[in-house]
Structure 1
């Protein structure tokens, strides 16, 4: 009979239990995949980082203040999720895309745009502007800035955006601006804007269909016909935990609750019997303890896996 000495009650440390309790789980809907392929995601991130630099240079020249634009994140989500994430009152520049009923969106706080206009007209821009609709003069200036931004966007995306894009209208309520159907997928890039001492968040949303069609041609991924083989090849390289264990013993909960350091539990494992080799709790083989040079090892003497 083998014995084991209890070193720590329950075998799980308090920090580990706390980490497990605070872990959050995100629900994924396989009917509406909203995850970009790694290759596509990297290409889009590089394109939008280029756009951020171009946009910052353009704003600096137009606003006559040092402006810095940084791309924070690129993701794919439904238009409904995108619109829900925006403030209720904000400036949304809707842009026409030739051959598409869905529109592109450039979104930023209206107060930020009013600060741009103030600098363009010779003001200091120090006073915090309220969230309100633009006047005709303000809207004309903002439209000019957005037209220049679209030129930078076309340059940055290159072959990914082959259809003409132009400014259509400016909306001020994110819940009423119908740029696309609620279930339409959008490529959304978020940017940190810094103009002088002020900072804000802006987003650019483009219909995913338009970009992914071109992205698949310029940067193709694997064929779906080989998805099974690719999945099997990937799973074969995923690391798993393998354990060599004694025969488990069944005890009453009262015995577990009364355990203390130094207590001994008898294990019903004969000395002559090989140990169980388990993967994720499932016993797959039996093995004897051995060595490989100076390191401990085990020798497989029997496999329990059933042939398929």
Structure 2
């Protein structure tokens, strides 16, 4: 076999290694729902930015993926703007991220100024934070409506941070949903991102409540087990025979069992003996009369 054929065989037999650090993935259906939701949000956020900054802005969706929080944090520039949001009924946090230069450009345009030169990469002042907070609050309302029940109502901003390296919004290995949103405006373009806790989003997509923990009502499992149908069987004392005896069986053969006529039969549920019983009748049907119950293992004494 020549070198080209060997290379083709290696390519065909190449397998994808399983990443135990990212055991949770999105199904195709859930991924498509998230993509459509983020696309709807991108359109609405673009209209909101255009109205607030008095200039044309466009927001798109570059990618939607599930990552760990550590992967998301390492993908961000060291200096940026992180709007941290609290979800009602949950300790999880969401993040809306955009470059610090983009935030300062928005502030300049919102107060009626014009962009001149390169926007500054710096933390926002208290007044600037108030302006940005008001705009992002409206964007959060659009995000909730775009997700149509997947996200809970009442998401609020808890703070604005400026360092991705020192902002610990979630545990490093926590799975998160990340959407990268390119924003185009008169002065250029930049990438923003939205991070949502996967624990809340996936549970909502699967049909569970978005803001309440999954709690099984007491007694539900017991009631379900009590109502589950089981098969009962009467069993004679078993006998062991060799395979060739089974293969030689024919119609009319007599097989004896080591079970005396006065010995009760075992009443079985699966492989578990629950009682002993004697054969009887009930009208025209065969029946059994329970003679003794088998004690549970915890009740047996040595």
The 3-state SS of whatever aligns with 1:160 is: coil
CA contact (8 A) 1:34 1:78 kept: no
Distance in 1 separating the partners of 2:26 and 2:113: 43
1:111 equivalenced with 2:101 (yes/no): yes
The 3-state SS of whatever aligns with 1:156 is: helix
The 3-state SS of whatever aligns with 1:90 is: strand
**Bigger relative contact order, structure 1 or 2 (CA pairs below 8 A, ≥6 apart):** 1
User: Structure 1 residues 38-47 or 157-166, which shifts more?
Assistant: 157-166
- The equivalent residue for 2:125 is 135
1:10 equivalenced with 2:6 (yes/no): no
CA contact (8 A) 1:103 1:179 kept: yes
CA contact (8 A) 1:94 1:105 kept: yes
Question: 1:16-35, CA deviations, whole angstroms, 9 ceiling, x for partnerless residues?
Answer: 78x96xxx997542353242
The 5-angstrom pairing of residues 1-308 of structure 1 reads 10=2, 12=4, 28-30=18-20, 32-217=22-207
* Unmatched segments (≥5 aa) in structure 2: 209-302
Distance in 2 separating the partners of 1:27 and 1:87: 29
Question: 1:148-207, CA deviations, whole angstroms, 9 ceiling, x for partnerless residues?
Answer: 110110110111112420111011110111211111111110100011131000000010
CA contact (8 A) 2:22 2:67 kept: no
- The equivalent residue for 1:305 is none
Which stretches of structure 1, 4 residues or longer, exceed 2 Å deviation after superposition? Answer: 24-28
Question: 1:5-57, CA deviations, whole angstroms, 9 ceiling, x for partnerless residues?
Answer: xxxx826289x78x96xxx9975423532421011000000000000000000
State TM-score, norm by structure 2: 0.64
CA contact (8 A) 1:102 1:181 kept: no
Distance in 2 separating the partners of 1:55 and 1:75: 20
CA contact (8 A) 1:93 1:169 kept: yes
Distance in 2 separating the partners of 1:118 and 1:197: 12
* Unmatched segments (≥5 aa) in structure 1: 1-8, 219-308
State TM-score, norm by structure 1: 0.62
CA contact (8 A) 1:101 1:180 kept: no
CA contact (8 A) 2:98 2:192 kept: yes
CA contact (8 A) 2:115 2:187 kept: no
CA contact (8 A) 2:137 2:156 kept: yes
The 3-state SS of whatever aligns with 1:12 is: helix
Distance in 2 separating the partners of 1:28 and 1:82: 20
Distance in 2 separating the partners of 1:217 and 1:77: 22
Cα distance, 1:127 vs structure 2: 2.0
Which of the two has higher C-alpha Rg? 2
Shift in CA distance, 114/28, structure 1 to aligned 2, threshold 3 Å: farther
Distance in 1 separating the partners of 2:198 and 2:4: 45
CA contact (8 A) 2:96 2:194 kept: yes
